[in-house]
Structure 1
Amino acid sequence: MRDWRLAIAAILLVLQALVGSSGALAAPPEVTRGGAGGRIIRVTTLAKDGPGSLKEAVEAKGPRIVVFEVAGAIDLGRETLTITEPYLTIAGQTAPSPGVTIIRGGIDLKGHDVIISHLRVMTGADGQPHYSGWEADAFSTVAAHHVIVEHCSFLWALDENMSASGPRFNGATVEEWRRNTSHDIVFRNNLAAEGLAFASHPKGEHSKGSLIHDNATGIVFYRNVFAHNVERAPLVKGGAQVLMINNLIYNPGHRAVHYNLMNLEWTGHDYVTGEITAVGNVLRGGNDTDPGLPFLALGGDGDLAYYGRDNRAVDRFGQPLPMFGRYGETRARLLPAKAPLASLAGYDILPSGAVETSVLQTVGARPWDRAPDDIRVLFFVAEGRGDIIDDEHEVGPGYPVIKETRAAFDPAAWDLATMTPKAGAYPGEKAGAQEKLSPRDLGSRQGAGQ
């Protein structure tokens, strides 16, 4: 009896350590507070630069929270918005309806301690010829660290939709390599979709989801949706360390998750074993998915340590797909791990059978106030429809035309520590399903005589 009571007491102590005073499971530690506690900078124009612009706000120095008093499209004109100054929070949730969409460009983040929330980025080919060299990512970190990218929608990239990149070998040791490239990056609740395949990239086909560059560490993918990308959901390069929890990968073309330490890129350097921990993820094939495509494919020459639990992979008809495969007859080895290689503490982890229903409700920018293209992509995922595309005009008229709206930002109405509205309702919040209906469909839903 005494041994039984001691066991129960030990379990209670463990639970007490995991559970906060509210009684909820403790959240995983945040990698950054961004610009919390800093000054508020208001974006008041949709111009790509100049006074009141988003560019002016991100280039300001010191801790700052960027809020929006204007909504609509920011046209970058085939340029990239580069962020170098640290201690920044970009709060797209503060914009009036319908939120902020960046078109004809992308974001490169080269700083640290940055949080980006509720932005839409729609890069697009913009009519550029094949192989012409327009190759922007929708979003990428470049040797950045301590970054959170959450509830963003990344569509139509010419390279990757959302990535963590940087130099491979900046330094004399593995520790220095890892310190000097991207590390401690969290991607959560994002939509990364419709990377353009044969567009303007100089290498030709380049529909890619996410690239995690060599030696990047502390990279987390939590509750994201990858849809209609040929490859890289994600591609993990040599020596990188990645945690994947409850992500949905739909309609990949030739590869879903893959690891590749390329000898051609590591000449003169000793190989470093990469690490992937994957728990509760779902791969579902679509119209463009190769038959027999595995959840994880191993390429290149370096070894991968891998821990997997409760992942599932099925084709477009629900028939099982293999968990593992390889490309290249090389010496790379898959090294199964008996325990997670990254901490799972504090994550709310769903069983894989519940992932699809859950994440389709939450991913992307402003899920309470969705943009038409986000609705299209997510409904097509749910319906088992949609295709890999070469140009944004294959799925509609191209870049969205968004009417500019304005509303003053009232700091007293927001919890500035969490950037959530005190009243509980976000700007433009809508109830129920956010379907995009044609006039005919709308009439049929309303019924005769309505």
Structure 2
Amino acid sequence: MTLKTLALSTLALAAALIGGDARAAGPAPAAAPSASAGITTRGWTATQGGRGGRIIKVTTLAAAGPGSLAEAIAATGPRIVVFEVGGVIDMAGQPLKITQPFLTLAGQTAPDPGVTILKAETTISTHDVVIQHLSFRPGEFGRPKKGGGDQDAISALGGARDVIVDHCSFSWATDENLSASGPRFDGKTPEEWRKATSHRITYSHNLIYEGLGNSVHEKGEHSKGSLIHDNTSQVLIYGNVYVSNRQRNALFKGGAQGAMVNNYIFNPGDRAVHYNLLDKEWVGQPWQNGRLTLVGNALRHGPSTVPGMAFFTMLGQGDLELHMTDNLAHDTQGRPVPLLGNGPTTTGKIIVAPKADLPPGLVVRSAADLARELPPLVGARPWARDPLDARVLADMSQGRGKLIDSEVENALGYPRHAPTRRPFNADAWNLDDMSPKAGWTALAKP
């Protein structure tokens, strides 16, 4: 199979697996692309992203200034951001803040080796955003242990909605690698709370690994995968691979509503998936039941996993409406481990939900197939793997892995790719979904 064929088949298969489709839109909101451009529905998320907007080209790996990613993100109006340069964008600790809606970041358009964003937290506090095929690696970059300044790799903040983060790679965050959060109690009713925090978020086919443990976080140990914060809703975590994050693979907090479907979790430390409403954080507010659907996921213990650790752990004081179907959990020798566990101070109760709460049309695989089928699909640019991603997937296949405290513990360290360039050719791409057209070599040459 040629590189071009692999690229086309990988993107096409991934698009099919996520259950996304293009549907005719209703009346276009203000400043949105025209209704004829359609919308993309993935999970509970319905978004146009930047579809129908102008093309903005990233032409430099500089952290800011003309032609930079930061400048493209800060632009207003519907826009599709494409890359005429590949390599490393070193933000030197400065954040990337996505505050303007109707944005598509199409990392698949970059020449090999693609684009990696270092030493930055990327936040999304707007709506209608699609991010694909980029790598995010914050790291501690020499900062003092417990010195503060912790960073998520990507976090959807309060008010974020209709966001898709798909086929990206995340490692070395000093808070969570990939999260959804916001102000948990803005408004007078629980319905208003849910509107004020992140909702209709889809995280799909990402590779999420090696959150840093004893690093810059002021609390100390903080190797975390994903936090789905209190009162977030309609959050779908679909088809991702989590590797060597100590906890939060993922954590759904009090009153959160969402689903994890077809995720593969390898070598967590002491918790894989868990739920937790902390009463001290809900003082004066009526507790809300969480709602969580776990379908077709698989856990495999690794060298850093506490023996006997369950697939799902119930923590805290609030109750949870939980549906579980076709989930698997095995230790390092392939022996079954419990699917359910409780923390030592848990008082919250599990309310068994007989029916899965899933978005319509979602394609669900068998959990038994994930170890074989997911690794070739997940992460940024699987047709041309970043060496860091290739290494962690190879280690996972051999049952190897460890929790780390700093990016310097990874033998490869921060990537130092030489810059590459290639003009963007709009004729080579389907601009509606930023997939490559058959017959073009847009992805075949660096």
With structure 2 as the length reference, what TM-score do the two structures score?
Answer: 0.89
1:399 aligns with 2:383: no
Aligned to 2:311: 295
Aligned to 2:146: 131
TM-aligned CA deviation for residue 19 of structure 1: 13
CA distance in structure 1 between the aligned counterparts of 2:44 and 2:242, rounded to whole angstroms: 25
Report the CA distance shift for 1:361/1:19 in structure 2 as closer, same or farther (over 3 A): closer
What amino acid maps onto 1:166 in structure 2?
G
Residue-pair matches, total: 408
CA contact (8 A) 1:95 1:427 kept: no
Report the CA distance shift for 1:257/1:136 in structure 2 as closer, same or farther (over 3 A): same
Report the aligned-residue RMSD: 1.8
CA distance in structure 2 between the aligned counterparts of 1:236 and 1:30, rounded to whole angstroms: 18
CA contact (8 A) 1:300 1:328 kept: no
Moved more, 127-136 or 182-191: 127-136
Report the CA distance shift for 1:251/1:64 in structure 2 as closer, same or farther (over 3 A): same
- Considering only CA atoms, is the larger Rg found in Structure 1 or Structure 2? 1
1:49 aligns with 2:67: no
What amino acid maps onto 2:339 in structure 1?
M
- Return the match for 2:177 from 136, 139, 161: 161
Aligned to 2:12: none
CA distance in structure 2 between the aligned counterparts of 1:251 and 1:394, rounded to whole angstroms: 17
CA distance in structure 1 between the aligned counterparts of 2:73 and 2:274, rounded to whole angstroms: 34
Give the unaligned 5+ runs of structure 1: 1-17, 431-450
CA contact (8 A) 2:166 2:205 kept: yes
CA contact (8 A) 1:125 1:134 kept: no
CA contact (8 A) 1:197 1:205 kept: yes
1:306 aligns with 2:306: no
Q: Secondary structure at the match of 1:276?
A: strand
TM-aligned CA deviation for residue 423 of structure 1: 2.5
- Return the match for 1:263 from 262, 279, 283: 279
What amino acid maps onto 2:314 in structure 1?
L
Aligned to 1:174: 190
- Return the match for 2:51 from 36, 52, 55: 36
1:374 aligns with 2:396: no
Q: Deviations over 1:203-226 (max 9, x none)?
A: 100000000000000100110001
TM-aligned CA deviation for residue 412 of structure 1: 1.4
CA distance in structure 2 between the aligned counterparts of 1:380 and 1:64, rounded to whole angstroms: 38
Alignment of 1:413-424 (within 5 A): 413-423=428-438
Q: Deviations over 1:55-107 (max 9, x none)?
A: 10011000000000011000000121110000000000000111000011121
What amino acid maps onto 2:376 in structure 1?
Q
After TM superposition, the runs of 4+ consecutive aligned structure 1 residues lying more than 6 A away are 18-21
What amino acid maps onto 1:141 in structure 2?
A
CA contact (8 A) 1:244 1:281 kept: yes
CA contact (8 A) 2:42 2:202 kept: no
What amino acid maps onto 1:415 in structure 2?
N
What amino acid maps onto 2:155 in structure 1?
S
1:273 aligns with 2:289: yes
CA distance in structure 1 between the aligned counterparts of 2:49 and 2:191, rounded to whole angstroms: 25
Give the unaligned 5+ runs of structure 2: 1-18, 23-40
% identical aligned pairs = 49
Report the CA distance shift for 1:100/1:424 in structure 2 as closer, same or farther (over 3 A): farther
- Return the match for 1:221 from 232, 237, 249: 237
- Return the match for 1:319 from 335, 353, 362: 335
Report the CA distance shift for 1:424/1:356 in structure 2 as closer, same or farther (over 3 A): farther
With structure 1 as the length reference, what TM-score do the two structures score?
Answer: 0.88
Report the CA distance shift for 1:28/1:275 in structure 2 as closer, same or farther (over 3 A): closer
- Return the match for 1:194 from 198, 210, 235: 210
TM-aligned CA deviation for residue 328 of structure 1: 3.6
What amino acid maps onto 1:409 in structure 2?
F
1:235 aligns with 2:245: no
- Return the match for 2:264 from 220, 226, 248: 248
CA distance in structure 1 between the aligned counterparts of 2:122 and 2:175, rounded to whole angstroms: 12
CA distance in structure 1 between the aligned counterparts of 2:314 and 2:271, rounded to whole angstroms: 10
Q: Secondary structure at the match of 2:76?
A: coil
Q: Deviations over 1:230-285 (max 9, x none)?
A: 00011100000111111001000010000000001000001000011011100000
CA contact (8 A) 1:79 1:106 kept: yes
1:211 aligns with 2:227: yes
What amino acid maps onto 1:216 in structure 2?
T
1:82 aligns with 2:101: no
CA contact (8 A) 1:58 1:85 kept: yes
What amino acid maps onto 2:111 in structure 1?
P
Report the CA distance shift for 1:341/1:378 in structure 2 as closer, same or farther (over 3 A): same
- Return the match for 2:301 from 285, 299, 303: 285
Q: Secondary structure at the match of 1:78?
A: coil
- Higher relative contact order (CA closer than 8 Å, sequence separation 6+): 2
CA distance in structure 2 between the aligned counterparts of 1:331 and 1:297, rounded to whole angstroms: 12
Alignment of 1:419-438 (within 5 A): 419-423=434-438, 427-429=442-444
TM-aligned CA deviation for residue 27 of structure 1: 7.5
1:148 aligns with 2:164: yes
Aligned to 1:438: none
